[in-house]
Structure 1
Amino acid sequence: MKFPKNALSILLFWMVTLFLTSTIQAQTKQIKRPKNSVGISSVDTFVNESFDLYDKVYKYDGYAAAGTPLEDEDIDVLEDALDDLSGLSESAPDILGDLDGASVLKQGKATLQINRAKKALNYSIKTAKELLLGQREREEKDEENDTASNKPSNDSEESDSNSDSNESDTEASNEPVNISDNLEVYSKFDFVPGDKLLFFDDFSQDFIGDFPSKWNTNASGEVVKIGDIGNWFELKSGYGVYFIPNVKNLPEDYTIEFDILTKGLGGQTSSTARFNVILSDNDKFDEGSQHYAYISIPVGQYGAFSLRARNFFNRNTGDINTDIKADIRKEVLNQPHISISVTKNRYRLWINQTKYVDIPRFIQELNVLKYVKFHINNFKDGEEHLYISNLKVTEGGVDLRRKLLSEGKVSTNGILFDSGSANIKPQSYGIIRQISQVLMQDENIKLNIIGHTDADGTDDANLKLSKSRADAVKQALVNIYNISENRLETEGKGESNPVADNTSTDGKAKNRRVEFIKI
């Protein structure tokens, strides 16, 4: 938006006045543009555009420091830059979802560069406004921070193998997130999926446009293909509309995992727009006949709305009727992974690596909630969408640590990888954490890590992939949990040792596994 001409004259007058005063302090130290790209197009574009605008504002800030007045065209450039900066800043959360599927280190590098770009944006927005209003003035500490010292600088760029620079890929000490921060988050993630697969559906066996074959509903829905991220099931919004996977007789201890994807959500999305995960005593199109419990996840974007926990037993309102304060707006927009663990009465729910719900007596009566249902409501028809995929229900109850210690080996299909790659999905780190605890408890234990795949692809490709995945698990134990690599061996067996039928989705999920065997 352009300033009126009389406003420009007033601003120019104040700028000239400001430049002629002695209160201008030295310009802040320049934030360095990353030399190398991340390899994720949206991230690289965001970083480059952020620094292109930053360079413009920094140049005019230099004029202010030197006492050089701005011309009318300079002010026009600053006005346009300010509009672009605001729009670019608002787009930052949208690119976070593109980090899903990248390796841990690539996610860390991307996060580092995004935060450096955001730091440049924050400086640029603040500075452009001050320049336009004739209020640009540094604090003494900025000048002091720029003076030479014998302390090594942390505001440096990543190293270049073709130069003599000793710079590293670290940011200033006030940078909010870096690679080790991400690894620390993963290292504390304590969700552990069950060990016996009860149900799995990624909709890969369904035709696009059809209702999924392993689900039921009293309304409508269809499987859609979205870009290169596979098949998803679109849920339809409506009062009294339920979507029920063919999961029967849930045990006392089990886990539920799935991914959700949203489209069209924004500032106009209703505060009552919600995604509900229901545990029920029947497979009918209602919440339940006598017993049910549910968690309601908000998707509205104009405010931070609470998660809701409700339970009902013996046709009466239960003991739990709670609103749990949380701001999950960014997560909702960026393809979050939902993990639920039910251990007898205890109920826990994670969104990505953060645990939001942990209620010790949420399930007030055991062995009555046998089914899982999904429901969404108050989405704008044709504008706001929610999709689900990779629904996995597993029976729990086995402590992998105790089993590994007592039996000398353990097999799990809970360590997940991106399709066709050795990139470990973040939600898998709960299992790797348990394995690390065994190794830390007894320093004499050595393990052979064996990767297995399903039968999709060629024998040679699967053999190589299974070995790469075993190596990735080893590196996670070494890099995150500081296990000596001399205690770990790896092996890949590809598709040669299946434990289930490779012609079904469930069978393939069971065959994609990692074994740990004491040496």
Structure 2
Amino acid sequence: MNHTTALKHIITTFCFFIFATPVLEAQTKKIKRPKNRVGIYSVDRFVSESFDLYDKVYKYDGYAEAGTPLEDEDIDVLEDAIDDVSALSESAPDILGDLDGAGVLKQGKATLQINRAKKALKYSIKTAKELLLGQRERKKEDEEGNEDESTEPKDETVSESGTSSDGEVKENNSETEEEPSNISDGLEVYSKYDFVPGDKLIFYDDFSNDFIGDFPANWNTNGSGEVVTLNKVAGRWFQFMHGYSIYYIPNLPSDLPENYTIEFDLIALGINKKTSIGANLEVRLEDNNEFKTGKDFAEIQIPFVQYTVSDFHVKNRINNKSSINNSIKADIRKAVLNKPHISIAVNSERLRVWVNEKKCVDIPKMIGINSPIKAIKFQLNSFKPEGKESLFISNLKVAEGGEDLRRKLMNEGKISTNGILFDSGSANIQPQSLGIIRQISQVLMQDESIKLNIIGHTDSDGTNDANLKLSKDRAAAVKDVLISIYKISADRLTTDGKGETQPVNDNKTTDGKAQNRRVEFVKI
């Protein structure tokens, strides 16, 4: 559907508003994004994605003040935002089940953040529609958009889990809107996470440039598959189809180096206690990019069985001889049902695999020293056909690096990394990035005489002043994690921020911007 057709559809559906309601005004004050994470993956992801969409729509809300007309690409963005916001809104009730077993305070904090995210989503879908229909103008104050959250109804019965008797998410009266100031909230579970992502991008695909229903342009297969959207999750996803010996192969631009990392997100649908014990996603690193088994490969099978503790099956072949063919126990049954993030690190012969923060595989001699790994191959095994069980992948990132930064810091006295990731436009550290900070803490623990200056850098998006402040806030956030989680003394750490003033690559390209968003650690 092109933007003209979609716009006509929206206008037809909502045309009664044109005559029934006056022109609406835009809000001037943003709803605040929560500063800290809850520590429940589905909640943190829901809140983060909700505010990412909110920030996108809020940007276009400023057009109402300036009287700037929407361009074709602006209309496309707003139409996509409406779809994504609707999907996220539908996912909110399902997140409640993930609060079971959490402490009362964590449940209360989660409830507050979910409600704030829902308010942001409500604003986003309403505003996007009004902008597309030309019904939005700006005045100095918008009482509706800036309504004090304390004025919301407080007289409903709320359980300790943060839900009312009718099951709707409600704010806990015993809590206020003030978030705890401890930046380690939500990161503690990752305190032993030692995955270090590569920082030189080789391949990335979130399917945002592919058409829905098409096979993705940057992949190959001997079967079939298509890019889809899901009604409860934002973004675009590549659906692997069930079949015998069907391989899905991303088109890597070159052979893989000695040290590299692979990351991706998965969504599994229809998985339950009747799922086959053999249901798995096979990830194979191989010496060819064809639909055949090579002389050199390393294979990991990620299990989805639910009725029993699962096994990672691992096997390899080095110079046409197999040395490893084994199963490794790892209970990831809950994790694979909740949009798991998979991380794989290859360092010469060594191969490690994490599911979320949990390391499941660590084999020191899985890959041959001189094995020419050319491809990453995915294969779906023993999933029920005809849509009864489905698997989707997105955000595949392959990057060179992932080496031990501790020795580099000790030997050279300085490292720079863009592997520490933050939420868009904020200083909230993404927990999957904690492996790098953990390595920094180990250097400081080993030599108590070392002091470090932490320096943040941004790309050129936004104003100079905003980027300078953001870079300083991000450096301070890293310092706070070192202090609060790893118990490093504050007097051994200083921080600074350079904003966009010291780029290392071209800010006009996506890859260049990614390189410029970085954190430096310098001995002082």
Q: Tell me whether the two structures share a fold, i.e. TM-score over 0.5.
A: yes
* Kept after mapping to 2: 8 A contact 1:94/1:334: no
Tell me what 1:312 maps to. Answer: 317
C-alpha distance in structure 1 between counterparts of 2:465 and 2:227, whole Å: 32
Tell me what 2:482 maps to. Answer: 477
* Kept after mapping to 2: 8 A contact 1:199/1:506: no
Which among 224, 230, 237 is matched to residue 232 of structure 1?
237
Q: Which amino acid aligns with 2:201?
A: L
Q: Which amino acid aligns with 1:95?
A: D
Is 2:261 the counterpart of 1:241? no
Q: Which amino acid aligns with 2:434?
A: Y
C-alpha distance in structure 2 between counterparts of 1:269 and 1:43, whole Å: 26
* Deviation for aligned residue 1:209: 4.0
Is 2:280 the counterpart of 1:274? yes
* Kept after mapping to 1: 8 A contact 2:416/2:519: yes
C-alpha distance in structure 1 between counterparts of 2:375 and 2:398, whole Å: 11
Which among 414, 423, 429 is matched to residue 418 of structure 1?
423
* Deviation for aligned residue 1:195: 4.2
Number of residue pairs the alignment of both structures matches? 379
Tell me what 1:187 maps to. Answer: 191
Q: Which amino acid aligns with 2:475?
A: A
* Kept after mapping to 2: 8 A contact 1:294/1:311: yes
Is 2:425 the counterpart of 1:402? no
Tell me what 2:375 maps to. Answer: 371
After TM superposition, the structure 1 = structure 2 runs for residues 501-516 of structure 1, keeping only pairs within 5 Å, are 501-516=506-521
Tell me what 1:468 maps to. Answer: 473
Tell me what 1:95 maps to. Answer: 98
C-alpha distance in structure 2 between counterparts of 1:372 and 1:159, whole Å: 51
Which among 492, 496, 505 is matched to residue 487 of structure 1?
492
Q: 1:413 to 1:38 in 2, by over 3 A?
A: closer
After TM superposition, the structure 1 = structure 2 runs for residues 287-436 of structure 1, keeping only pairs within 5 Å, are 288-316=293-321, 318-379=322-383, 380-396=385-401, 398-436=403-441
* Kept after mapping to 2: 8 A contact 1:276/1:297: yes
* Deviation for aligned residue 1:205: 4.0
C-alpha distance in structure 2 between counterparts of 1:354 and 1:442, whole Å: 28
C-alpha distance in structure 1 between counterparts of 2:452 and 2:363, whole Å: 36
After TM superposition, the structure 1 = structure 2 runs for residues 115-126 of structure 1, keeping only pairs within 5 Å, are none
For structure 1, the residue ranges without an aligned partner over 5 or more in a row are 1-36, 45-90, 100-104, 122-156, 163-168, 170-178
Tell me what 2:204 maps to. Answer: 200
* Deviation for aligned residue 1:406: 2.8
* Deviation for aligned residue 1:357: 1.0
C-alpha distance in structure 2 between counterparts of 1:338 and 1:283, whole Å: 22
* Deviation for aligned residue 1:184: 5.2
SS at the partner of 1:472? helix
C-alpha distance in structure 2 between counterparts of 1:195 and 1:393, whole Å: 9
Is 2:255 the counterpart of 1:252? no
After TM superposition, the structure 1 = structure 2 runs for residues 76-225 of structure 1, keeping only pairs within 5 Å, are 95=98, 110=110, 185-225=189-229
Q: Which amino acid aligns with 1:426?
A: P
C-alpha distance in structure 2 between counterparts of 1:108 and 1:486, whole Å: 34
* Deviation for aligned residue 1:196: 3.1
* Deviation for aligned residue 1:479: 0.4
C-alpha distance in structure 2 between counterparts of 1:337 and 1:366, whole Å: 29
SS at the partner of 1:230? strand
* Deviation for aligned residue 1:475: 0.9
C-alpha distance in structure 1 between counterparts of 2:212 and 2:470, whole Å: 29
C-alpha distance in structure 2 between counterparts of 1:274 and 1:498, whole Å: 43
Is 2:456 the counterpart of 1:451? yes
Higher mean alpha-carbon deviation, 461-470 vs 301-310, is at 461-470
Q: Which amino acid aligns with 2:380?
A: I
* Kept after mapping to 1: 8 A contact 2:42/2:338: no
* Deviation for aligned residue 1:239: 1.7
* Deviation for aligned residue 1:250: 1.2
Q: Which amino acid aligns with 1:273?
A: A
Residues 431-471 of structure 1: CA distance to partner in whole angstroms, max 9, x if unpaired?
10111122223334332222233444555544443333222
Residues 77-124 of structure 1: CA distance to partner in whole angstroms, max 9, x if unpaired?
xxxxxxxxxxxxxx8895379x9xxxxx9799659x9xxx99999xxx
Q: 1:96 to 1:275 in 2, by over 3 A?
A: farther
* Deviation for aligned residue 1:384: 2.6
* Deviation for aligned residue 1:273: 2.0
* Kept after mapping to 1: 8 A contact 2:261/2:345: yes
Please tell me the root mean square deviation across aligned C-alpha atoms, in Å. Answer: 4.2
C-alpha distance in structure 2 between counterparts of 1:293 and 1:360, whole Å: 12
* Kept after mapping to 2: 8 A contact 1:260/1:336: yes
Q: 1:478 to 1:427 in 2, by over 3 A?
A: same
Q: 1:213 to 1:455 in 2, by over 3 A?
A: farther
Q: 1:231 to 1:457 in 2, by over 3 A?
A: farther
For structure 2, the residue ranges without an aligned partner over 5 or more in a row are 1-36, 45-93, 114-157, 163-171
TM norm structure 1: 0.63
C-alpha distance in structure 1 between counterparts of 2:516 and 2:279, whole Å: 38
Which among 254, 258, 264 is matched to residue 270 of structure 2?
264
C-alpha distance in structure 2 between counterparts of 1:273 and 1:473, whole Å: 40
Q: Give aligned-pair identity as a percent.
A: 61
SS at the partner of 1:387? strand
Which among 280, 285, 289 is matched to residue 291 of structure 2?
285
Q: Which amino acid aligns with 1:384?
A: E
Is 2:446 the counterpart of 1:441? yes
SS at the partner of 2:317? strand
Residues 150-177 of structure 1: CA distance to partner in whole angstroms, max 9, x if unpaired?
xxxxxxx998799xxxxxx9xxxxxxxx
